[in-house]
Amino acid sequence: MPSKLSPAAQDVMDKALEDNVKFVSLQFTDVVGSIKNVVIPVSGLAEVLEKGIWFDGSSIEGFSRIHESDMFLQVEPASYRVVPWTKNGRATARLLCDVFRTSGEVFGGDPRRVLKNAVDGLMKEFGLTFHTSTECEFFLFAGEGHNSTKPVPHDVVGYWDYSPRDLAAEVRQEVMEALTDLGMVVERAHHEVAVGQHEINIRYDEAMSTADNTLMLKATIKAIAAKNGLVATFMPKPIAGINGSGMHTHQSLFDAKGDNVFYDAKDEYKLSPMAYSFIAGQIAHARALAAVINPTVNSYKRLVPGYEAPVYLCWGQINRSALIRIPHYSPGREKSTRLELRCPDSSSNPYLAAAAMLAAGLDGVRRGLKAPDPIEESAYEFTDEQLAEKGIRTLPTSLDEALDELSRDEVVKTALGGAYNAFVRAKRAECQAYRMQVTPWELEEYMEKI
């Protein structure tokens, strides 16, 4: 029998009893951001809360080699949530876990640990906390009976349209209810630009909570879409010729008094010197950062001019072609001052993405980098000569190119900590697998022509 539990663990036990939970999903992520889990009956929860649970890490991407496969999970009690779509007689609770080695030391390759180390380092060095929010765009496609290689959008309406033809409106509302049940504060949901494309936003929070919530938001949307006979995807570019899906990420730093240190009332853009240096750091490291925040082959089919995806390394306020946008300031909303990094997509591991973004920005702060002049014209309209004249570089055009940039960037490499080697190994393998594919485009283009 377990010994007396800690107050936090006992609180979980009490909630599980009150919620009539039958099963508990113990969750963590692999290096590429896939949720992994082991499900236990609630009768085993007390022992897991006290002692953790062993698992074989040898088959988890980025976790362990065969000869050192045994690892164990320790539960974070504060992460207890009841999964809303499992309430019919088999109520299941979710608990997030940290990964440890057999020796009892923390596993540095655990993506959640990577972000914990980053935010702990920020607090220790600067006395600040990192706040973020993510705008996760996604598509809903027709499900059963349809070919997944030729996706069919679930509706025919457009950006922010209100129409009876927006067949996904009820699905979005069901998702919003589920996210609220999971303890998230949903701010808005709407149809996006492309046919079948949507966005649901949750309120900004400390970076760790946002990363946790981003993973659960994706899982929730996929589960409720499936329940309604649909397929949800966060793939950056599922259909050629229309807008892809991003994960615009809003960032700010707060001090111990709760003040936003990116805010300066006297500045034209209401930004502090620290904010400008943070911008400069992210622009300086953007090409390496891309490997982490745009980490799939498909990511670079979204990052092309003409579809509202930023490819130019510049910043501005009204310029949506820029890498970083400064949302307009509203009087009385000083705490909302933030930098919107527009290139990330939801194929990224949210823990590694946040850690890398923070490291890039802080390098600019440490070195006192000066942000380049803002660009308020559409960079899409610039000629190559104009881009060169203004010193505007572009993001990499492929995952391979981004990984090459990452290999040369010690700041971003260091930010990934123990996850770096496994991440690069997985992504190089992805590039190689893609290179060996023969695509439908190639068959159409070359079969009879050559």
Query: What is the per-residue pLDDT for 190?
Result: 81
Q: pLDDT digit string (tens) for 367-421?
A: 999 999 999 887 777 888 888 888 899 999 999 999 999 999 999 999 999 999 9
DSSP string, 304-330: STTSS---EEEEESS-TTEEEE-PPP-
- Using one digit for the tens of pLDDT, what is the confidence trace for 154-165? 666 655 455 565
**Residues taking part in catalysis:** 56, 135, 137, 192, 199, 248, 320, 340, 342
The pLDDT of residue 304:
87
Chain mean position to CA 246:
10
* Cβ atoms 247, 213 nearer than 8 A: no
pLDDT of residue 101: 84
Give pLDDT, residue 1: 45
CB 270 within 8 A of CB 337: yes
- How distant is the alpha carbon of residue 160 from its chain centre? 23
Q: What was the pLDDT predicted at 66?
A: 39
Are the C-beta atoms of 58 and 69 separated by less than 8 Å?
A: yes
Q: Give the pair of three-digit tokens for residue 435.
A: 């290179």
Tell me the one-letter amino acid at 237: K
The angle formed by the CA atoms of residues 257, 263 and 267, to the nearest 5 degrees, is: 150
Q: Residue 387 has which token pair?
A: 């881009």
Amino acid at 359: A
* pLDDT for the residue numbered 153: 66
Rounded Cα distance between 226 and 412, Å, is 37
Q: Are 132 and 250 in contact (CB under 8 A)?
A: yes
What tens-digit pLDDT sequence spans the chain (450 residues)? 456 788 999 999 999 999 999 999 999 999 999 999 999 999 999 999 998 998 876 666 656 553 346 788 999 999 999 999 887 778 999 999 999 887 788 888 899 999 999 999 999 999 999 999 999 999 998 876 555 666 666 666 655 455 565 567 888 899 999 999 999 999 988 887 788 889 999 999 999 999 999 999 999 999 999 998 899 999 999 988 888 999 999 999 999 999 999 999 999 999 999 999 999 999 999 999 999 999 999 999 999 876 667 899 999 987 778 899 998 766 767 788 999 999 999 999 999 999 999 999 999 999 999 999 999 887 777 888 888 888 899 999 999 999 999 999 999 999 999 999 999 999 999 999 999 999 988 999 999 999
The answer to whether 98 touches 215, Cβ cutoff 8 Å, is no
Residue 107 and residue 416 in contact, taking contact as beta carbons nearer than 8 Å: no
What is the model's pLDDT at position 138?
A: 93
pLDDT of residue 266: 93
pTM: 0.92
Instruction: Give the DSSP H or E segment for 365.
Output: helix 350-366
Give the per-residue pLDDT at 164: 62
- For helices 111-126 and 350-366, what crossing angle results, to 10°? 30
**Residue whose tokens read 């300086």:** 284
